[in-house]
Structure 1
Amino acid sequence: MKIAQVAPLHESVPPKLYGGTERVVHFLTEELVRKGYDVALYASGDSHTSAELRPCCDEALRLDPQCQNTLVHHVLMLERVMQDSREFDIVHFHMDYIHFPLLRRFDLNGLTTFHWRLDLPDFLPFASEYTDLPVSSISLSQRRPLPQMNWVGNVYHGLPRDLLQFHPGPGRYLAFLGRLSPEKGIEEAVDIAIRSKTPLKIAAKINDFERDYYEEVLRPLFRHPLVEFLGEIDETQKNEFLGNASALLFPILWPEPFGLVMIEALACGTPVIAFPQGSVPEVLRHGVSGWLVDDVDSAVDAVGCLGLLSRSRCRAEFDQRFTSSVMADNYVRIYKHLLNSRKESGSRQWKKSSRLPVNTTFSPRPH
């Protein structure tokens, strides 16, 4: 089977800094190559992969000071992918939805994985139009707002088994790892730590659009003696940061599509205390890999019950459910299903849509 993986161009694969989607594409691509599949990766030219790299820009667009319009580069990438499409059995897109009109008109086996939230009202007419194209989710909660789409699978993210090491010790502090934005629950995390009288270490980058929020709201909170703000950490630092924590705090306030940091913590044996928003109840097992709590009061109580959770069970949850090998196997099952469906049905016949609005009259502007 020859497979194309199409990544966003905002970050390299894997990303040098922040970039969850590109990290997942990297882990999936490497695992597919390891399993013996012929894989081509469409990504930025500064990407590193065991697959055949087909660069679509010189470097990641977010780090390129000359780039002022990222959409142009993605359109050119789609042109190249479509010109090459007959080489592949499956073309797997990870770049949202701008390729959908092309998929309708090119006779190829295409799968699209959505990596972001789908609960915004703007998606409703889109989902009602594209009920024919195969799509996959990264959690069942992510797809719930759009049941009319052609969901052919749900695949949870996975990490290489040896990326992060198991830490059997009880941990010395609470950890928060993620963006410093209100929906990630950073204020709630600080409140939980202070009220439970437990040290909290925060590892996060301050984005430019979050600078005012940091200066006005978070900086005063971070002055508390129990709170230590470390700034952004890289992949090599995550192992010690998460592994030496007694728990990861994940008090999110939005419908998180997946939450990669949760399985990073589990890989280290570190349980998670989280609000049950979005994918959280699918990723965590209450009383096994963490505590699902409804508010700060319950989270404070959960800190006192961390000793009831087994760190080895947390690691076992990761090994059984969230490795890159499991992720790749699940995607391969979808690929084979799509190939078998195509053999049975033949080429897809596209028909003109009856769902789009059509202007039947034209009234010129008055002068």
Structure 2
Amino acid sequence: MLSPIAWSTPPKKYGPWEAMVSLLTEGLVKRGIDVTLFATADSHTAGKLHAVCPRPYEEDKAMIIKVYEGLHISEVFERANEFDIIHNHFDYLPLTYSALVDTPVVTTIHGFSSRKILPVYKKYNNSTFYVSISDAYRCNELDYIATVRHGIDIESFPFNDRPEDYLLFISRIHRDKGAKEAIEVAKKAGMKLRMAGFIADSEYFKNEIEPHIDNEQIIYEGHVSQERKKELLSNARALLHLINYEEAFGLGVVEALACGTPVIAINRGAMPELIIHEETGFLVNNVDEAVEAVQKVNSISRRRCRESVEKRFSVDRMVDDYIRVYETILEKCKREEKRPWGFYEVLTEKSGYKVKRITVLPQEELSLQRHSHRSEHWHIISGDGLVTKNSDKIKVLVGDSVDLAVNDIHRVKNTGSQNLVFIEIAQGDYLGEDDIERLEDKYGRA
């Protein structure tokens, strides 16, 4: 499990991607799945934690981000052979390592910071797997194996049927998140607004937010702890989520609903997938409609808000969905039972021929063998090796090919430090795996 390193996993305060990675990791471990979490050293997990980054780079501005990103990602891919699947939550950069390993890579696309990163996703579209976190946030230029909406630890969010009389904005302070619009709604509705979240855009905060903070009607609480966040969500009359962009999900929306707090949100991005209009909140198009929704918010059943999250956004549901994704990927990339020398996968099999992708681990070798019913053609696609063909020893590199006739005595050894990968095309009247006569074998199978 490859987590971002901007924040710890789970985060101490802000860090939605890291929060999801933590919930998924712990959920999988509870199911008995062996998970190694690659995250910052101050992270916590019931699985196996592996870290090269000592702390989140957002908490230590002296760190050179690219140095630790490079070290962090390379750790995963250098150990790829240890894992059945690499689950990437660290955006597009790890994809550039994916073709160097045989382990399947699935990437949860939490968000596109810009269309300028799409070339990387498009390059690896057919060789890795993508999961979207909402149907609304799918890119029509990419293929997806599934949509898996986030789940939350519902029991950790206190339900409150007797809220206080204030509106709430809780997110990063940024134009995208509609902090300014939340202030406008509160003032027009004549209600108190509590605001919390880290300042992601200091100029925006200085010019558009700070002048309105009077600590009476408009109150800014700063970057709050998880405990204080839950208190604010639970006690609010309604959450204002007046976004100015196509948001991929909206974790704070689901967390508010879990507390029983209705949400008034701009009808963009994934909001219609999270909020049931006029049942768990209101989907609006502008500030004026949001003000009208504030007047009607008491018509929303806070119990209904909680029940909608229990039904649709639990951690167990999210874990179930991801397990199905993993099972589908493993079936698509099905490997033969792992051999002591490595593994193979059948790419295609028809009457008279079979095509395999064979991976031999560093310094390992196949048995010295021959076949009675089939000939084989080997084409090297990565690594260095030494092929025995009857009495000949043939050194092979990337791009080389070797033809083996029926009854030719042969073997291949990986002589390098990286995996030796080759495509095998077998032709004959019988292609079963029992058409192998082993003459010598270092693993005692002759």
- Whether TM-score is above 0.5 comes out as yes
C-alpha separation between the residues in 1 aligned to 2:209 and 2:60?
29
Q: Distance in 1 between matches of 2:115 and 2:81?
A: 35
Give the aligned partner of residue 216 of structure 1.
207
Paired residues of 1:127 and 1:148 also in contact (CA < 8 A): no
* Cα distance in 1, alignment partners of residues 261 and 30 from structure 2: 28
Shift of 1:51: 0.8
1:151-190 residue CA offsets vs partner (Å, 9 max, x unmatched)? 0011111111221111111442111101111111111111
Shift of 1:10: 1.7
Q: Distance in 1 between matches of 2:324 and 2:52?
A: 28
Q: Which residue of 1 aligns with 2:124?
A: 130
- Between the two structures, name the one with larger relative contact order (CA 8 Å, sep ≥ 6): 1
Q: Distance in 1 between matches of 2:230 and 2:8?
A: 22
> Match for 1:103: what amino acid?
S
Alpha-carbon distance in 2 for matches of 1:224, 1:51: 44
Pick the structure with more helix per residue: 1
Q: CA deviation at 1:127?
A: 4.1
8 A Cα contact 1:131 1:148, kept in partner = no
**Residue 17 (structure 1) aligned with residue 17 (structure 2):** no
Which protein is bigger by CA-based radius of gyration?
Answer: 2
* Other-structure match for 1:95: 90
- 2:35 alignment counterpart: 39
What residue is the counterpart of 1:363 in the other structure? none
Change (3 A) 1:329 1:59: same
Query: What SS does structure 1 have at the residue aligned with 2:276?
Result: coil
1:290 and 2:281 equivalent?
yes
Instruction: Describe how 1:1-367 pairs up with structure 2 within 5 A.
Output: 5-68=1-64, 70-117=65-112, 120-132=114-126, 133-143=128-138, 146-207=139-200, 210-223=201-214, 225-343=216-334, 346=346
Number of positions where the alignment pairs a residue of Structure 1 with one of Structure 2: 342
Alpha-carbon RMSD across the aligned residues, in angstroms, is 2.1
CA distance in 2, matches of 1:182, 1:240: 25
Per-residue CA deviations over 1:180-218 (Å, capped at 9, x if unaligned) read: 1111111111111111111111112224xx223222221
Residues 92 and 121 of structure 2 are in contact (CA less than 8 Å); yes or no, is this contact kept in structure 1? no
Tell me the distance in 1 between the aligned counterparts of 2:17 and 2:33.
Answer: 21
- 1:205–1:105: structure 2 CA closer, same or farther, 3 Å change rule? closer
Paired residues of 1:117 and 1:142 also in contact (CA < 8 A):
no
Q: How does the TM-score come out when normalised to structure 2?
A: 0.73
- The answer as to whether partners of 2:92 and 2:120 remain within 8 angstroms in 1 is no
Rounded to whole Å, the distance in 1 between the matches of 2:183 and 2:271 is 20
- 2:333 alignment partner, SS class: helix
Task: Report the Cα distance in structure 2 between the residues aligned to 1:326 and 1:106, rounded to whole angstroms.
Answer: 30
Report if aligned partners of 1:14, 1:26 keep a CA contact under 8 Å in 2: yes
Q: Show structure 1 runs of 4+ deviating over 4 A.
A: 347-351
1:128 to partner: Cα distance: 3.6
What stretches of structure 1 of length at least 5 have no aligned partner?
352-367
Output the TM-score relative to the length of structure 1: 0.88
